[in-house]
Amino acid sequence: MGLYEEIKGKKAKISIIGLGYVGMPIAVAFAKKVNVIGFDINKDKIGLYKKGIDPTMEVGDESIKNSNVEFTSNPEDLKQSKFHIVAVPTPIRVDKTPDLAPVEEASKIVGKNLTKGSYVVFESTVYPGVTEDICIPILEQESGLICGKDFKVGYSPERINPGDKVHKLETIIKIVSGMDAESLDEIAKVYEIVIEAGIYKAESIKVAEAAKVAENSQRDINIAFMNELAMVFDKMNIDTHSVVNAMNTKWNSLGFYPGLVGGHCIGVDPYYFIYEAEKLGYHSQIILSGRKINDGIPEFVVENVIKKMIKAGINIAKSKIGILGITFKENCPDIRNSKVEGIIKGLKEYNIDPLICDPYADKEEVKEFYDVDLVDKTELNNLDALILAVSHEEYRNLSILEVDKLFKNVSNDKKVIIDIKNVFDINELKSLNYTYWRL
């Protein structure tokens, strides 16, 4: 009996290492069909999961409560599993180089608790070669076992889109790879237990690693192109969204819009490619340029905030600005690599201490990550300017009357609205004579 049959027959368990925005949906999905151990080093997070609370908001409290996942922060519990899925984050350092510490530590934990006949599949985004050149040696060293003989390894890049309730784990084609034909087939069959959209078998682990970095870099470049257009059209006094809406009437238009590019994937993965390319003596041109453009958008937004305030006759030094949203994307509590932070820092260079409100973000986490104190929406009043930075559903539903109540009692032309996400009706705001700008 192969490992797949043992897992299907509930004679062997699957373990998920790292229960965040990626790991939790995997754990819950597999737990509907097989026995699953959900491991995370964060004891507080495990405590929440055991209480049926989902801090990621990816699967929801009810799904956690009704799940059969065995939540644990005890590494030795991993010895009960034969199929390990590593789904820990892979961030970048301040100098934009890859920080592989989380995946290395996860490899050590798995290695110390690895048993013969096991499989280890990495889902963390890495540059090509990390699984075989870095992770396998750690697994062998910690376990005393030999890869290929005592255990096997594969790679399957995560494709989960945080906050997206349409494109979910089960409905996204899953790329899988293995160190040989046998492991590729076995890993594919295990993932087929939960993946409804189908499996794509990559030719090698390096191909699968590269595919993940490439797909996010491609999206980053496309958004960078739109952001560059936005910066140029702004100088031409042309509304970018109007241009894009006209352009998108052509059948082969890609439908991208300008915006802030943060988070743990698109804003990070290209740097993994750039780093490895540099090691091989190639200086990235297109991908690096795209990153520089997207990293510069917060500064561009701040420049336009100040310009509009000056045009409205507002005293910058005494101004009061509110910001709606600090998470990296809408309807999601994830604040990692949020580019809203860049806007906050930029405003502070003008001695403006903005008030930030976000119903999804955790106040303590925001304080720890960014040293920013979130305020309740009720504290947003008597504003000179309002920046809509994240299009959470409740912000999209704001009426102009509700927005107006946040401002000082002055004429509309002295009320500055900065709409980064193109939520408000530009024609309505112009007809009411607000000072308005959108990215």
Residues with a catalytic annotation lie at 265
Q: Check residue 437 and give left, alpha or beta (phi > 0: left; psi -120 to 50: alpha).
A: beta
The residue type of 67 is S
Strand, coil or helix: 357: strand
91 CB-contact burial (10 Å; exposed 0-12 / middle 13-18 / buried 19+) = middle
CA distance 344 to 323: 9
CA-CA-CA-CA dihedral for 127, 163, 346, 275, to nearest 10: 0
Structure tokens at 285: 């041109």
- 298 secondary structure, DSSP code: H
CA atoms within 13 A on the CB side of 266: 22
Cα angle 96-128-216, degrees, rounded to a multiple of 5 = 60
Q: Whole-angstrom Cα distance, residue 294 to residue 29?
A: 34
Task: Quote the distance between the C-alpha of residue 239 and its chain's center.
Answer: 28
Token code pair at residue 384: 């000179």
The H or E element containing residue 83 is strand 81-86
Cα(207)–Cα(154) distance, rounded to whole angstroms?
A: 11
CA distance 227 to 222: 9
Please calculate the CA angle 335-339-345 and round it to the nearest 5 degrees: 105
Largest CA distance in the chain: 77
293 by DSSP, 3-state: which? helix
Q: Are the beta carbons of 4 and 33 closer than 8 angstroms? A: no
Closest CA to 128 of 187, 69, 210, 47: 210
**Distance from CA of residue 358 to its chain's centroid?**
17
Say if residues 227 and 291 touch (Cβ distance below 8 Å): no
Instruction: Give the pairing of strands 385-388 and 355-357.
Output: unpaired
- Give the bridge partners for 151, in sequence order: 118, 147
Cα 426 to Cα 302: distance, rounded to the nearest angstrom: 20
- What sign has the CA pseudo-torsion 308, 313, 316, 319? negative
